[in-house]
Amino acid sequence: MESSEFCPRPLTRQDAAALIGILAVLEGQVMSGNVEPEAVERFQSRMADDGLLSGDVADHDVPATLEALNQRVRFALGE
């Protein structure tokens, strides 16, 4: 998916706020080691499939990628 491509229908403010909270919780859980390694690998794979990670997925930091995604959702929300 092209990273500069916008969604045809934007999220509601409520949905964006919920996603911010979910991403923050997920990032914290991954950072603290409370997520199974297999799940982290699935997150890495999914983020690579969606174009958020490129190259060797093993070299990427899942919490940092989740935080960057969270910041983009916050920006879209106007924070």
> Whole-angstrom Cα distance, residue 76 to residue 11?
9
**pLDDT bracket for residue 12 (50, 70, 90):** very high
Residue that has been written with the tokens 């995604």 in this structure? 69
d(CA 9, CA 75): 17
3-class secondary structure, 57 = helix
In 3-state terms, what secondary structure has residue 61? coil
Helix boundaries (H) for the chain: 13-31, 37-49, 62-77
Give the pLDDT confidence of 49-72 residue by residue, as tens digits: 888 887 665 556 889 999 999 999
